[in-house]
Structure 1
Amino acid sequence: MNPGEAREQAQNHFPVADFHCDALSKLLENPSIDFWADQGLDVTGERLRAGGVRIQCFAIYLSQKWGNPRFEHILRQIELYRSKVANTGGLRPLRWKEEAARLAGGQEGGPGWGMLSLEGVDGLEGNLFYAEMIFELGVRFLGVTWNYANWAADGVLEQRNGGFTEKGRKLIKWCNRRGMLLDVSHLSEAGFWELAELSHRPFIASHSNARAICNHPRNMTDDQIRAVIAAEGRIGLTFVPWFVTDDGEAAPQDLLRHIEHICALGGEQHLMFGSDFDGIDSWVKGLEHPGHYPALAELLLRHYSEELVKGWLYGNAVSYLARNLPSAPI
């Protein structure tokens, strides 16, 4: 597609699903922030609309600078999501596969949708009753670790590279039974392979790139990428500059190398995006907030078919949700 055609298509705002941002932790640190339009956030309601983002997954992240992670920190971010994001931003909660199926079928217009994920189970304090509570409150994705060890498993920067504890293995079983989906971004390599073996539900890497292209431990090896593909999971390409290029200076076209590599491994139908907006303090130039998604769509359309681009921006994520979210209670 030539540049003029790509620009015209992108301006139609291809719908977007973004599987990771950290706006909630910023709201917890500064409750005076206005989610709708505050320049202190990368992700605002205004920018989501400008970028055509129909689904945004909001991570509940417990910063190390807050001291020992507590369940209270999780509940406070869920309440901030409800009061400041869902209400003021006009986002509907996406919790059930029936809702995702309607989105996949193009039957839902109007305001966008928000999802909740937990980035690191530290704040669950080893208590599966707490896990049940956050499921009932709408959390649907669970990242087992941040970068370091917790009660369930080792993170990717934990030097011993351990796997799951006994409590962690019980957590995997609970997630599979309850319908809580698992996220391997930040998980140690040993933990990744243990989860891949123990989980009978497809899992995701919400915000990780290809290590063969950028050699960062938070990116995935080719074998890990193949395992996510084989499990019918999803890989959310992220806009963290130091996960995109080895020198940490990145432009949008640098993402194409990761796309090409993952597609060469068989991942055309398994790619999506997980920006990590509000979790970074430097940005891919030209991708500083979700309002720039149309420019990314325009770039992709110059190199790939409309069908593939629509899949990467939205379709692959929604089809995963329609198959794997839990069913709504009758």
Structure 2
Amino acid sequence: MTASPTAGHRLHTSALVADAHNDLLMLVARRPPQRWASYFRDVWYPQLRAGGVDLQVLPVFVDNEFRPEGALRESLRMVEAAHRIAEGNPDLVALCRTGAEIDTTIQSGRIALVLALEGCPQIDTDLELLQTFVRLGVRIVSFTHFGRTALADGSGEDRAGSRLTRAGVEALALLESLGAAIDVSHLGSAGIDHVLELAARPVIATHSSARSVHHHHRNLSDDHIRGIAATGGLVCVNLYAGYLTAEPPTLDHVVAHLERVAELAGPDKAGIGSDFVADLFAEKVPACYRPLIIEGTNTEILVPGLEGPAGLPLISHALLAAGHHENEVRGIAGANLARFLGSKHC
């Protein structure tokens, strides 16, 4: 089965589109505070709208330059930036704390913004700060990035075979009691096992692809994909080329990961967590260090057309062209993530 570009565009335009991971807050926070709202409006809002985005998860990620002493300070600046984006553009977006607020915002024609914590270096073992961040609007939390935190080990430490720390176990229970979702993207393999053993609420992977399609420690094993689905959770495929394939990346590789997740978890448990990095690396990485090589991968190699949010309609078209039912495509494009965040799950 094939689909015309017109059919794919028409479907995407009418679909609810949601992205579980875009690090644009890092770039917003690099500007003077008085420019936060206008920078988002002038630079990012047009890109999100071009991609049809109705719901955008904004991770609060603290780069190495701020760790450890400045991690909390920079995290609070990024949270404040998100609030000022919403306050300065009330006709365009809203920062949403509940499923009802997400629904109302989308129905009004605005983009629903949802905050997430990525990595938790700002928490250490002061778990009461998790409650502070939830009060400020955070709805999703991951415990680590590539390395080690006081809560868990990232996938870059897989050879250590570490599960959650005692503080990590307590953090999981606290976040579930607060109604925040646990995000296992970046978590080490044994840590994901531990989360799935303990979780009493649905779990999400906001930006992780399928290891059985491309073997990389950042991707999820088949058992982990099934386990996340068994909690009632969601797996959102990462569009970063280095996690998709060792070959020159194409849309077919994106489709292959989405199809594997849908096969293992069910089409209603698959979504997209873009992890668009082109703008971020272009601004943050000095020319003398480019191209930036991470784990042997040139970070500037991108899936053609998927350099930023404006390319998201290409995925809907590719899924439709691959023979997927329109309802499945709509779910992956964003309805599944909107349902996850809009339900009692989060």
Q: TM-score scaled by structure 1?
A: 0.90
Q: C-alpha separation between the residues in 1 aligned to 2:62 and 2:129?
A: 15
* Matching of residue 231 in structure 1 with residue 231 in structure 2: yes
Whether the 8 Å CA contact 1:35–1:85 is kept in 2: the answer is no
Q: C-alpha separation between the residues in 2 aligned to 1:86 and 1:226?
A: 40
- The gaps in structure 1 that reach 5 residues or longer are 39-43
Whether the 8 Å CA contact 1:10–1:295 is kept in 2: the answer is no
Number of equivalent positions: 317
Q: Helix, strand or coil: the match of 2:58?
A: strand
* Matching of residue 180 in structure 1 with residue 199 in structure 2: no
Q: C-alpha separation between the residues in 2 aligned to 1:231 and 1:11?
A: 28
Give the aligned residue type for 2:238: T
With 118-127 and 295-304 compared, the bigger mean Cα shift is at: 295-304
Whether the 8 Å CA contact 1:97–1:325 is kept in 2: the answer is no
Q: C-alpha separation between the residues in 1 aligned to 2:265 and 2:142?
A: 24
Equivalent residue, structure 1, for 2:64: 64
Q: C-alpha separation between the residues in 2 aligned to 1:22 and 1:124?
A: 19
Q: 1:264: Cα distance to partner?
A: 2.4
Whether the 8 Å CA contact 1:241–1:284 is kept in 2: the answer is yes
Report Cα offsets for 1:246-271 as digits up to 9, x if no partner: 24x31222111112222222421100
Equivalent residue, structure 2, for 1:16: 17
Give the aligned residue type for 2:164: F
Q: Which has the higher helix share?
A: 2
Runs of 4+ in 1 over 6 A off after TM superposition: none
Q: Helix, strand or coil: the match of 1:6?
A: helix
- Compared CA separation, residues 4 and 206, structure 1 to 2 (3 A): closer
Report Cα offsets for 1:8-34 as digits up to 9, x if no partner: 524635221000011112222344671
Equivalent residue, structure 2, for 1:41: none
Percent identity, please: 27
Equivalent residue, structure 1, for 2:42: 37
- The gaps in structure 2 that reach 5 residues or longer are 282-298
Q: TM-score scaled by structure 2?
A: 0.86
Give the aligned residue type for 1:284: V
Report Cα offsets for 1:170-209 as digits up to 9, x if no partner: 1011011111110000001111011111110111010000
- Compared CA separation, residues 61 and 260, structure 1 to 2 (3 A): same
Q: Helix, strand or coil: the match of 1:291?
A: helix
Q: 1:127: Cα distance to partner?
A: 1.3
- Compared CA separation, residues 71 and 266, structure 1 to 2 (3 A): closer
Name the Cα RMSD after superposition.
2.0
Equivalent residue, structure 2, for 1:127: 126
Q: 1:125: Cα distance to partner?
A: 2.8
* Matching of residue 137 in structure 1 with residue 142 in structure 2: no
Tell me which of 289, 293, 308 is aligned to 2:312. Answer: 293
Equivalent residue, structure 2, for 1:305: 325
